[in-house]
Amino acid sequence: MKPIISPSLLSADFANLEKEITMLNTSKADWLHLDIMDGVFVPNITIGMSIVHAIRQHSEKPLDVHLMITQPERYISHFKAAGADCLSVHWEASTHLHRTVQQIKLEDMLVGVALNPHTPVSLLSDIIQELDIVLLMSVNPGFGGQQLIERTYHRITELKELIIKNNSNALIEVDGGVDLDNAPRLVKMGCDILVAGNVVFRSANPTETIAQLKNV
């Protein structure tokens, strides 16, 4: 099965955001990945609900919203109202993770849990059956343009085993440093969703790059 391609707007040209979204609408991208950062959980600040809402007005693709913020449970209904189709929260930022997961489900969104590179995937064993997505950070979160951490491949294998063992239907999403060179190996190891930032938006032909990622 071909991977789901979710280009990360973190790498887009925000001065021409509507143009970038129009390009993605005509491409083979499946989702749009939106990184929400608060400057507390990660050392960067990006966009909030109003920008997500504006993107929703132009995007024909589902919005894959990744919350890199403290106390994400405070904003679940707000991101639903803004137009999120999938909402991922960080294990490290969620004191009452099960409750937060249930809140997202009640809002009728796909629910994901993200793990930082140092966080063991085994910590999801008690909740993996509740999840639609596990998002593995393959770089340290906060900034685009980083190289993929080599141990990510092992983590994909470990996570796949955990999913199978627990009869979960969760998809594996990899975010950070994805490019045309490592994408085939990521998919071979078991990745279902590729988040692609610089490789798409710094490409001379973004739609062709997306098509290449889709066909790895």
Catalytic (active-site) positions: 35, 175
69: three-class secondary structure by DSSP? coil
Q: Which of 149, 143, 155, 38 is nearest to 90 (CA)?
A: 38
Instruction: Give the angle subtended at the CA of 36 by the CAs of 100 and 130, to the nearest 5°.
Output: 30
Taking CA atoms, 161 is separated from 30, 45, 98, 125, in Å, by 26, 35, 21, 11
Who contacts 36 (Cβ-Cβ below 8 Å, separation ≥6)? Answer: 46, 47, 48, 52, 65, 66, 67, 68, 69, 79
